[in-house]
Amino acid sequence: MRAISQINIKQVAILSLVLLLSINIKAQDRPNILWLSCEDISPYLAMYGDSTANTPNLDRLANEGYVFTNVFATVGVCAPTRSSIITGMYPISIGTMHMRTGNDVMSWGNRTYPIKGKARDINGDPVPKYSAVIPDYVRCFTEYLRDAGYYCTNNQKTDYQFAAPVTAWDENNPKAHWRNTPKGMPFFSVFNDGITHESRMWKNKKLPQTVNPDSVPLPIYFPEDSIVRQDVARNYSNIEILDHNIGKKLKQLEEDGLLENTIIFFWSDHGGPLPRGKRLHYDSGLRMPLIIRIPKKWQKQFSYLPKRDDELISQVDFAPTILSLAGIPIPDYMQGQAFMGKQRADSARKYVYGSSDRFDEFTDRIRTVRDSRFLYVRNYHPELPSYKDIGYRKKMDMMNQMLYLHSMGLLNRDQNYWFRLKKTPEELYDCEKDPENLHNLIYDPKYQDKIAELRGAMDKWLEEVGDKGAIPEKQLFLQMWPNGVQPITEKAIVKVNHRKVELSCNTKGATIGYIVSDKDFTPDLNSGWTHYYKPFKIKKGQFLYTISQRIGYKESEIIKVHF
């Protein structure tokens, strides 16, 4: 893991040269990679010991693949954590830690940013919507895949805290599919299923309840209550729908004859949607499922045997791992490490790290470090309550019921723990003896050595990644958007020498997309832009279209050149 201030920017240029060589590798010599991602589920699945939901398709993946049991999100909510997935960087390091910066949730994003909003920073200053401007050397990792000859499709959630650049994906819309991959190319294809999202707890209320509320297990921090049981059962019922949808995708792979040439990842973006899950920095909010199926033809190459693995893995490791599996050099700036493939890290992680900043209309600042057994929490604002009265979450019946029971004094100690009005400056939990993180050991003299160890690991991590959380969000926004105005990417510069086109842009960190067409037309974001990384030839009479964008900036105008 590298500190931002120590990054060698030349790494990006060197990587591009290596990618030129990798394109010549035949498609059959490289695996297809499929991500089946979902939203808001903790490991509430049979392969993790919870067989409440009937999930035959996920069970199949687990039986044929690799079940990882200690995988953690970087943040307990979608947009910040998805920024770490697409970049291989910690949100606190690149300024994407606040939920949510803009409305760029699906496909290429809304790309409009209202001045007024509910968000306020730690000082109470209002924060408008914005697209986060990340360091100029950081890329969406899919650009490296595309440069190496992979066809990359996303269907269709992005939610990266910035509008996805057109260079990130070949397809990025509701129709994106590996079935559109040109012949001879390997694919990296993503399908995100929203059926288990928090919002489906109320939106799916009228759907059949396939799991009996009377039979669902309740965490000890939930009260025994019929309304609570109904919502917990709804969550498990949604998981059963998710499993059915996963089965459809597996069937499509088999129909296409691609199952045995495709590495499949199944993962959630963070912990479950129920109260004290999503948004929380405890295991209930950060721990997530991960199953990987690698076909037999690739198992030997990746030293892989189907089994369970309890090594610590962070979401920030996903990007470098995909590059490792695809045989693409991992950029030196990435803060994650590969846990599979030829570039697998020499040693497994000793720690995983998490963060919590603004969630919707409430701001706090919390950092966590976890080893294989203990969770250490640092509260920068212990004077603030643990529970955040987030309006979106109160659309859930059980959240309102828990608030009512709390107000009436009907919750026990464990159920009340979330509602404490102040926090200790630090917390420590034994996740083996106390998996629900309810008994704070920070003042227990028996654990002072462990506390000192984790405190030191936290300090080292924060220094390495350059935590931007100390900067109030309004100030951070103004650093990204001077005077509150979104910067605009400059147009590409086109140079031609003997019908060979070279493109450049004076905006530092901008990527350039281009289209060569025999016919004149009006391209848009969905027109299929090629990521420029080397000069290319063009014929007389053809049309060249270019668009430039630095992440967080407004994209340039599309320019057209007729040859």
**What are 218-261's pLDDT values in tens digits?**
999 999 999 999 999 999 999 999 999 999 999 999 999 999 99
**Three-state DSSP state, 445:** helix
Tokens of 99: 């939920």
Stretch among 12-21, 210-219, 403-412, 449-458 having the lowest mean pLDDT: 12-21
Per-residue pLDDT of 287-312, as tens digits, reads 999 999 999 999 887 876 667 889 99
Q: Cβ(32)–Cβ(256) under 8 Å?
A: no
Q: How confident is the model at residue 546, as a pLDDT?
A: 99
Residue type, 240: E
What does the alpha-carbon distance between residue 311 and residue 372 come to, in Å, rounded to a whole number? 8
For residue 255, give every residue at least 6 positions away whose Cβ sits within 8 Å of its Cβ, in sequence order, or none.
Answer: none
The pLDDT value recorded for residue 9 is 40
- Is CATH 2.60.40.10 correct for 487-562? yes
What is the DSSP pairing of strand 151-155 with strand 187-193?
parallel
Write down the catalytic residue from 38, 78, 431, 505.
Answer: 78
Mapped onto helix, strand or coil, the DSSP state of residue 27 is helix
pLDDT at 12 over 90: no
How sure is the predictor about 199, in pLDDT bands with cuts at 50, 70 and 90?
very high
Is there a cis peptide before residue 252, judged by omega within 30 degrees of 0?
no
Q: Is the pLDDT of residue 57 over 60?
A: yes
295 by DSSP, 3-state: which?
A: coil
Average pLDDT over every residue of 261-284: 98
Cα-based torsion angle of the residue sequence 533, 536, 541, 547 in order, rounded to the nearest 10 degrees: 10
Instruction: Give dist(CA 290, CA 159) in Å, integer.
Output: 20
Q: 159 in the Ramachandran plot: left (φ > 0), alpha (ψ -120 to 50) or beta? A: left
Nearest to 427 by CA among 457, 462, 454: 454
Type of residue at 292: I
CB of 393 closer than 8 Å to CB of 316: no
In 3D, which of 100, 148, 81, 66 has the Cα closest to residue 363?
A: 100
Helix (H, G, I), strand (E, B) or coil at 312: strand
**Arithmetic mean of pLDDT, 377-386:** 99
- DSSP class of residue 258 equals -
- Given the DSSP bridges, would you call strands 536-537 and 500-504 parallel, antiparallel or unpaired? antiparallel
**pLDDT for position 437:** 99
| Terminal-to-terminal C-alpha distance of the chain | 46
Q: Is the pLDDT of residue 5 over 90?
A: no
- Averaged over 464-487, what is the pLDDT? 98
Q: Which amino acid type is present at position 436?
A: E
The SS3 assignment for 266 reads: strand
Burial (CB count within 10 angstroms: exposed 0-12, middle 13-18, buried 19+), residue 235? buried
Q: Are 377 and 368 in contact (CB under 8 A)?
A: yes
- Find the radius of gyration of the CA atoms of the chain: 24
Contact (Cβ atoms closer than 8 angstroms) between residue 376 and residue 370: yes
pTM: 0.95
Tell me the pLDDT tens digit for each residue of 82-130: 999 999 999 999 999 999 999 999 999 999 999 887 899 999 999 999 9
**Residue 20, H or E segment:** helix 10-22
- pLDDT recorded at residue 27: 54
pLDDT at 305: 65
Q: State the Cα–Cα distance between residues 241 and 254, nearest whole angstrom.
A: 20
Is 78 a known active-site residue?
Answer: yes
Beta bridge partners of 501: 496, 536
As a whole number, the mean pLDDT across the chain is: 95
What pLDDT was estimated at residue 341? 94
Domain boundaries, the chain: 4-205+237-352, 487-562
Phi, then psi, of 351 in degrees rounded to 5: -140, 155
**HSE on the CB side for 293, CA within 13 Å?**
21
Integer CA distances (angstroms), 381 to 28, 297, 310, 363, 384, in order: 54, 52, 33, 10, 6
What are the residues whose beta carbons fall under 8 Å from the beta carbon of 327, sequence distance 6 or more?
A: 22, 25, 30, 148, 341, 342
Distances (CA, A) of 385 to 99, 413, 441: 18, 16, 19
Return the CATH fold of 4-205+237-352. Alkaline Phosphatase, subunit A (3.40.720)
